[in-house]
Amino acid sequence: MNNLVSIITPSYNSSAFISKTINSVLIQTYTNWEMLIVDDCSTDDSIILIESFIAKDSRIKLHKLTKNSGTAIARNTAIKLAQGNFIAFLDSDDIWLSNKLEVQLKFMIENNYNLTHTSYSTINETSEKPIKKFVCRPILSYKNMLYSNRIGCLTVIYNADKLGKIYMPNIRKRQDYALWLKILKIEKHAYGIQEILAHYRLRNQSISNNKFEMLKWNFYLFKNIEKMSYVKSFFYLSSNVLNKLF
């Protein structure tokens, strides 16, 4: 089918939120999608919940990993299985607004854009009431992105027909940031929709999720994935920190 969107959803012990995430896909005004959920060996009742949705809608598909492998492998497994012309990302605790796919697909097709993202807001564990808005930039380049990751994973769609399937590096953290940089070496710009079309859920156990740990993985990304010198890696790491602070 033309313009099928493959939605990439990694899941691990997501029973508290996965139903709301799936429902936010089911209410999309754009209906030509498949949702590829890859379960990373959950120990809660996530799979039971997911399978209850699959029983009602065949567009939702579940793949179970045989060993706990991390978010990058879960996402890459879903990308490999994807049949869509477009690849979209939605984690198992985040939510899309009902017109997200319709607005974004129209934006991409009418302008011939291959990598797009949108503005989004944060929500907490107990409410879908927006806390803070993150308004995206209209245009971002590879160089812009080195200074700070200005793209929310839950908002991204890329054109797999034009770019091919592009996978995340197998690193524990910042693999989404690494993917945007990888795509921006092929595609000159990422284009942003200023309208808020998604909600990113802040989790209590991961609020900062150990800021030192995130700094470590940012440095690893610059040094080992982007193959920068120590000096350049520290420079862009510092830029990321300053952008977060100010």
Distance CA 147, CA 217 (A): 15
User: What pLDDT sits at residue 141?
Assistant: 98
* Torsion angles phi and psi, residue 62, rounded to 5: -120, 130
Residue with tokens 């808005």: 133
Could you give the residue range(s) of every CATH 3.90.550.10 domain in the chain? 5-205
- Per-residue pLDDT in tens (0 to 9) along the chain, 246 residues: 589 999 999 999 999 999 999 999 999 999 999 999 999 999 999 999 999 999 999 999 999 999 999 999 999 999 999 999 999 999 999 999 999 999 999 999 999 999 999 999 999 988 888 899 999 999 999 999 999 999 999 999 999 999 999 999 999 889 999 999 999 999 999 999 999 999 999 987 654 456 778 889 999 999 999 999 999 999 999 998 888 777
Homologous superfamily (CATH) for 5-205: Spore Coat Polysaccharide Biosynthesis Protein SpsA; Chain A (3.90.550.10)
What does the pLDDT read at residue 130? 87
Give the pLDDT of residue 241: 87
Rounded to two decimals, what is the model's pTM? 0.94
Can you give the pLDDT at residue 215?
85
Q: Residue 208: its pLDDT value, please?
A: 42
d(CA 208, CA 203): 9
Q: 117 CB contacts (<8 Å, ≥6 apart)? A: 136, 151, 152, 155, 156, 157, 190, 191, 192, 193
Cα angle 50, 100, 146 (rounded to 5 degrees) comes to: 100
Measured CA to CA in angstroms, residue 58 lies from 32, 90, 209 at distances of 12, 18, 35
Instruction: Please say whether the beta carbons of 146 and 239 come within 8 A.
Output: yes
d(CA 221, CA 162): 26
